A and B are shown apart, each in its own frame.
Chain A
């Protein structure tokens, strides 16, 4: 099993460690609900070092990126970040990722930990189509610390010389954090004001400790994968492996805004165009339980006794104090306000389709 460079910090903080893919990661410290509320009301500090970073550079870097992702990177300025699915030719999702434009002709893709091997194989295979492009896996170089929550700006500012209060959502700067070289981006997986800090592995523990200390009196708490999941679910952000995977396409996942059909050829364009023209068969929707019960990944959805879909993510929502979920539901049954049943341990439990995000 792999450990991030912050592993000892987690142990010292009393974290409960779980196996997450190949990684040993903190699932919680003080408790998922407490950590969740800290992020919504103050701030939380996450170790996201298990994420993969892939550097794509050379004259053909943009061409490769454009072929790989469904979103359009051609209009990006240096210092910008975009979110995009990466698809196979059949329109199935290989992974969802962030693209950072580091320089002209140099991009960094941030990919899901559990997909790194598969993604690199796919990226390298596509790179063969271009003459001047280098693909380098930097996952072993970077640690990634995410500071998320309404007080995150105050906290990070106290250990940075540079003023980043003007940094826009989905933008980044190459800067120093307490004298250490870092990429700081205004991104995150919680839907709150927040920052992600990429820095050399060996320097991560000192910055982690410094941030915890700087935020201590403001209510900052270390937060684990458990809270990360409930926080992203309340904002209806997709989790690869739950809500999207190789058998789902971006259009049914309600990610049409990330598919730029007007750009030149990209992997999956042909198939996705067909889907768009024919209309999607099912759609990822959000729902709230009306009766007692917690929806979980894989539970069936029924309307009048007929199975019309399946839960992809579900949990207790600490912010709403109710039970919520995401599900693929067949077309014709996806309208807001529609009542559906979730099959929980052979019992049909009533729920209602609602607007996303949940909060």
Chain B
């Protein structure tokens, strides 16, 4: 199970990466595998403000409906439009082309509440 080193992880299996002030949010390899074939994605609108751990979208696989939550308080700056026609990108490349939203962080210290890849890995083993 891949858990890249440079990401922060939530217990709900989202990840966030940080590039300067901008964060990119997606779901983990484990999450996409649990869901199975993803066939539908609902994402927020640009400029929407979100609290930490607030629900911001819905991912549906053939069998399951799953809410996704923001790892940090943020404002949405971009959504991954390609997922509208190709939701399977999340299955194929959850840490790359399958990203969900780009955000501007409100409070970087919230990242300290998240897990690093080692912690997330042991979290997965304990689940």
Using CB atoms and an 8 Å cutoff, list the residues of chain A in contact with chain B: 16, 27-28, 31-33, 226, 229-230, 292-294, 296, 315-316, 318, 323, 345
Partner of B37 from A33, A292, A345 at Cβ < 8 Å: A33
Report whether A28 and B40 are in contact in the complex, using a CB–CB cutoff of 8 Å.
no
How distant is the Cα of A230 from the Cα of B63 in the complex, in angstroms?
9
Partner of A28 from B36, B42, B58 at Cβ < 8 Å: B36
Using CB atoms and an 8 Å cutoff, list the residues of chain B in contact with chain A: 36-37, 39-40, 42, 58, 60-63, 65, 84
Report whether A296 and B36 are in contact in the complex, using a CB–CB cutoff of 8 Å.
no
Given contacts A27-B63, A31-B37, A32-B62, 5 further A-B contacts (CB under 8 A): A32-B63, A292-B84, A316-B62, A318-B62, A345-B42
Report whether A32 and B36 are in contact in the complex, using a CB–CB cutoff of 8 Å.
yes
B88 → chain A, closest Cβ, in Å?
A: 9
Q: Is the interface of A mostly helix, strand, loop or mixed?
A: mixed
A-B contact pairs, 15 of them (CB 8 A): A16-B36, A27-B63, A31-B36, A32-B61, A33-B62, A226-B36, A226-B62, A226-B63, A229-B63, A230-B62, A292-B84, A294-B65, A315-B62, A316-B39, A323-B40
Known: A226-B63, A296-B65. A345 touches B58 (CB 8 A): yes
Partner of B39 from A16, A294, A296 at Cβ < 8 Å: A294
Closest to B67 in A: A345
Report whether B40 and A294 are in contact in the complex, using a CB–CB cutoff of 8 Å.
yes
Which residues of chain A are within 8 angstroms of B39 by Cβ–Cβ distance? 33, 294, 316
The 9 closest A-B CB pairs, nearest first, are A316-B39, A32-B62, A33-B37, A294-B40, A31-B37, A294-B60, A32-B37, A316-B62, A226-B63
Which residues of chain B are within 8 angstroms of A323 by Cβ–Cβ distance? 40
Known: A32-B63, A226-B62. A293 touches B36 (CB 8 A): no
Partner of B40 from A16, A33, A229, A316 at Cβ < 8 Å: A316
B90 → chain A, closest Cβ, in Å?
A: 13
How distant is the Cα of A226 from the Cα of B39 in the complex, in angstroms?
14
How distant is the Cα of A33 from the Cα of B65 in the complex, in angstroms?
16
Report whether B62 and A293 are in contact in the complex, using a CB–CB cutoff of 8 Å.
no
Closest to A227 in B: B62
